[in-house]
Chains A and B, each alone.
Chain A
Amino acid sequence: MTPMLTRRVLLKAGACALAAAAAPPRFLARAASAAGTPGKVLVALFQRGAVDGLSMIVPYGDRDYASVRASIAIRPPRPGDTGAAIDLDGFFGLHPSLAPLLPLWESRALAIVHACGSPDRTRSHFDAQDYMESGTPGTKSTADGWLSRAAARHTTPASPFRAVALGPTLPRILRGDAGAISMASIQRFDVRSASQSPAPRTGFESLYDQGIHDLLHGTGRETFEAVRMLKSAGAERLTPANNAVYPRSRLGDSLRQIAQLIRADVGLEIAFTDAAGWDTHVGQGAEQGQLAARLRDFGASLAAFAQDLGDRMADVVVLTMSEFGRTVAENGNRGTDHGHATAMLLLGGGVRGGRVYGRWPGLARERLYEARDLAVTTDFRTLFAEVAGRQLGISQPATLFPGWTPAASLGIIA
């Protein structure tokens, strides 16, 4: 131990040792080191189904915007009009459902990258999500996800909670050697037995704690290490701080629990969650309707997360992503079909916010990708690499994305 360790950390390490007397030494080393480096956290949020970037971050200043979206365009900002876009910079505006994010924009904690996306031309949800999660557009054989590769870069012993996905399954982006864990909820993350009989956790633990190096046994070992640590950290008992109120939705629940893990100091560095329902082929709506409701949940969940974490947000960055955008023109059913570029958000400490990044390609027909979609001017890897490098301290982050020659960085994060 170094003299740098604070009393709080020592106490925490001691508590861990007491709570887990039977634990192998690796666990103690991990817990102590995780507690000793109150590190930075990257939260990745995937909007699955392809969010319409043109309704989320409205380019109302583009003269071609409103005309091709007769029933779904968001009105340009006007004082007193709460159904109109909320002005950001005189050209772009927030969807009115995202009003809770405005204070974060004004305090420069929120930045936006527009016309961002994949160089691959696929309009398949499945392939495009796969590419965004593997980090290798156009290559399907990549075995692991880029956040897993980022997590695996650590050389020091890491916490079992280094990389966590909220949800019943582990997403592609965190599959790989990093030993990321998934949890449906903090509360359910344990072996639960009938009240009168003692928990048979140790029996299961021994079954999976064997020399066979396969997927099942490896996962099992990591799981029980994590269960013990979560218990001793008491994450279960933490309630939202600063009067934060999360929407009662799956996304709200996920972000609330990610905040719990951050505040419980279990060594979380990478968290992932996703939200579905963005595939608005029919009846997308404008300031009200289907997409507006999804965005309301999205904005309120993010705002509650920032409020909950308070000062701790200085160490946290939230990165949002979606597999592609949607057609510039609305389709025959007042919805939008699969498109190309979309908008991504970056929120948190160290973000050079209050700015929309990326070159705007324009919505005039001759400027569109394949004459129908917003063109990609920022490769998603440019954004992801910069965030991984700055927030996770990864040197040469471009190497997380094999086969890619990095472009000039955006300068979006300090």
Chain B
Amino acid sequence: MRRRIAALLAALTLVGVTRLPASATSATLPTDDAAIVHALSRLAFGPRPGDVERVKTIGLATWIERQLEPRRVDDRAAEQALAALPTPTMSIAMLHADYPRPQPRDKATDAQMMPSRLFARPGPEKRPIRIIAEMQAARVLRAIESERQLEEVMVDFWFNHFNVYAAKGEVKWYLPSYERDAIRPYALGRFGDLVRATATHPAMLFYLDNWLSTRPDFTIRFGPNRGKRAGLNENYARELMELHTLGVDGGYTQSDVTEVARAFTGWTIDRPRDAARFVFRPVMHDRDAKTILGTRLRAGGGQDDGERVLSMLVHHPATAQFIATKLVRRFVSDEPPPALVARVAATFRATDGDITAMLRTIVASPEFWAPEARRAKIKKPFEYVASAVRAVGSHVDARGALSLARSAGEMGEALYAAQPPTGYPDRAEAWVNAGALLARMNFALALTQGRLSGVALDLTPFSGDRSAPEATLERLLAILLHGDVSPQTRAVLVDQLSDPQIRRQTPDDRGPADTDVEKLAALVIGSPEFQRR
């Protein structure tokens, strides 16, 4: 059966179909439960109880098509839960006004201080760090509650690709706008739009220092550094090529880095501590000619220098290859199959970087559905946490979402807190190690024992007949792992059933009565199988 599908898909790909209409997809996709679980594990943050049946009802192909067009998916439940978090929807100016930077001492311009302000300090609810906390909570909340699952997966993917570090200087005030205005609208759009949106966003301009980069002989005219000489800063130029577009082996040189940096001089931030927005300042710009990747930009290009560089980079074949590799690593395997990477790169080139088209190529590929791709990926901590909460059918409020974000941080993936521009790695060996594994097991225990505040948990559907622990275990394995469990793991868990701690003693000590479903669920969520997606 599976081989026939693979052959069909291969034939389709051979005739060059990269953009499958929904009908063609439905004719060729596998439709068994295991395939649905696989799709929910890769294109979503894992299945919730009942999800497999729901997808089966509308058809896997239809579900995938809906996920590829998130605007058409009703998401009111998630929006309602998000209403408790004000900062993700606020403008940069509002954030500056409502969450002012703490002043070490009141820098009074007026000699007379208001007596009421003598001991006044902003309360914890007005400290700027709250912006980061609310963003973390919102991201976790959406991953668990949103119906637009693939969009959330892609927001996570692209934010990480165009990473900014929330704790660097001004970035925290720019963070909500960065994700909302520069990443999310294009997460399933066009790659070039992402590059342009990030290149001109205050968060990226600040994080990679381009806002300060000027022509070599520029003298600062205003502000505390007035009269000082500024000059070139290569930081953004290098990472733009290495991490955002061409990839480190994309064939650029140190000279290209310097020339690209010159092209972007004058791309800076207007009113950085208020309404902060991108502005091109000709007076800071290096007007001389530049040579970039062998192409000569004539003198006097102004803002167009940077625009042309972005266009050159987005259309460079190395960029298609680099982005295709990262996407296939995310969705298929740590070792991206070269043939699939080549086809996704071809889709990139044929569609001018249409992300949805690239995802269609991946989902329509035999490599995506291949047996060796199933459970081939180790969940990142964020994916692990979200998938565990979804698997047990929990719902979270904003506070619960923040405690889950903290849990992911303890496993090594604190959201918005990757300091280097590379973001977090997407390979197993980065996440599997002693301390992180213990953190995962401890999370499984805390979750099932109801110790995470704000995470509502109801394990009664798992229990059934309390005096029949075998039935409880079977139900847990069916719901949490969809029955796909190794004989070894099953044997260990069956062994556990004879443990007196599992058959909990009743208070009056009249013998085994109550199955410790919490502990069993923790063991399943902490098991090797559940670490994979």
Residues in chain A within 8 A of chain B (CB atoms): 48-49, 71, 121-127, 165, 167-170, 175, 180-184, 188-194, 197-198, 200, 203-204, 206-208, 210-212, 214-217, 219-220, 222-223, 226-227, 276-277, 281-282, 331-335, 337-338, 370
Contact = CB atoms under 8 A, between A and B. Distances in A.
B311 interface: no
A370 B255 CA distance: 10
Contacts of B439: 168, 184, 188
Given A169-B433, A203-B496, 5 more contacts: A167-B412, A170-B429, A194-B451, A210-B489, A331-B232
A314 B91 CA distance: 58
A167 B443 CA distance: 17
B97 interface: no
A191 B212 contact: no
B214 interface: yes
A370 B254 contact: yes
A167 B435 CA distance: 8
B213 A333 contact: yes
Give the interface SS of chain A, mostly helix, strand, loop or mixed.
loop
A183 B233 contact: no
Given A169-B430, A190-B438, A212-B488, A123 B238 contact: yes
A215 B233 contact: no
Q: How big is chain B's contact interface, by range? A: 35 or more
Nearest to A70: B229
Nearest to B500: A198
* Residue among A191, A200, A216, A217 with max Cβ neighbours from chain B (10 Å): A200
Contacts of B238: 123-124, 338
B407 to A, nearest CB: 12
Contacts of A200: 445, 501, 519, 522-523
Given A168-B435, A193-B445, A215 B429 contact: yes
A414 B238 CA distance: 42
30 contacts: A121-B254, A125-B422, A126-B243, A126-B420, A127-B248, A165-B433, A168-B435, A169-B412, A169-B435, A170-B436, A181-B433, A182-B435, A188-B442, A189-B438, A191-B441, A191-B445, A197-B516, A200-B519, A200-B522, A204-B526, A210-B488, A214-B528, A219-B432, A219-B433, A219-B434, A223-B434, A223-B438, A276-B420, A334-B228, A337-B234
- Among B378, B419, B436, B523: residue with most chain A CB under 10 A: B436
A198 B412 contact: no
B437 A124 contact: no
A210 B487 CA distance: 11
B492 interface: yes
Chain B CB count within 10 A is highest, among A169, A181, A194, A197, for A169
B13 interface: no
Nearest to B412: A168
B432 A216 contact: yes
Contacts of B233: 281-282, 331-333, 335, 337
B526 A183 contact: no
B397 interface: no
B242 interface: yes
B435 A193 contact: no
Nearest to A143: B429
B209 interface: yes
Contacts of B499: 203
A168 B248 contact: no
A204 B212 contact: no
B216 interface: yes
A191 B437 contact: no
Given A126-B248, A282-B209, A332-B216, A169 B436 contact: yes
Contact of B212 (A71, A123, A332): A332
B185 interface: no
Contacts of A204: 441, 523, 526
B442 A192 contact: yes
A206 B437 contact: no
Given A181-B434, A215-B432, A216-B531, A206 B410 contact: no
Nearest to B243: A126
B503 to A, nearest CB: 13
Contact of A168 (B257, B410, B522, B531): B410
Contact of B437 (A122, A125, A165, A219): A219
Interface in B228-262: 228-235, 238, 242-243, 248, 254, 257
A197 B528 CA distance: 23
B501 A220 contact: no
Nearest to B496: A203
A125 B445 contact: no
Interface in B369-428: 378, 409-412, 419-422, 428
A182 to B, nearest CB: 4
A95 B496 CA distance: 59
Q: Which of A122, A189, A219 has the most CB of B within 10 A?
A: A219
Contact of A197 (B429, B449, B489, B526): B449
B431 interface: yes
B432 A331 contact: no
Contacts of B526: 204, 207
B351 interface: no
A281 B235 contact: yes
A122 B241 CA distance: 13
Interface in B282-333: none
B26 interface: no
A194 B528 contact: no
B237 to A, nearest CB: 10
A207 B231 contact: no
Nearest to B249: A140
A212 B486 contact: yes
B527 interface: yes
Contacts of A194: 445, 449, 451
Contacts of B436: 168-170, 182
B445 A126 contact: no
Interface string B507-533: 000000000101100110011100100
Contacts of B231: 331-333
B218 interface: yes
A359 B428 CA distance: 41
A196 to B, nearest CB: 10
Contact of B419 (A127, A198, A276): A276
A138 to B, nearest CB: 12
A317 B285 CA distance: 49
Q: Which of A121, A217, A223 has the most CB of B within 10 A?
A: A223
Given A124-B242, A206-B495, A332-B230, A182 B433 contact: yes
6 tightest A-B contacts by CB? A332-B231, A170-B433, A181-B434, A168-B412, A223-B434, A182-B433
Contacts of A190: 438
Contacts of B235: 281, 337
Nearest to A48: B420
B469 to A, nearest CB: 14
Contacts of B234: 331, 337-338
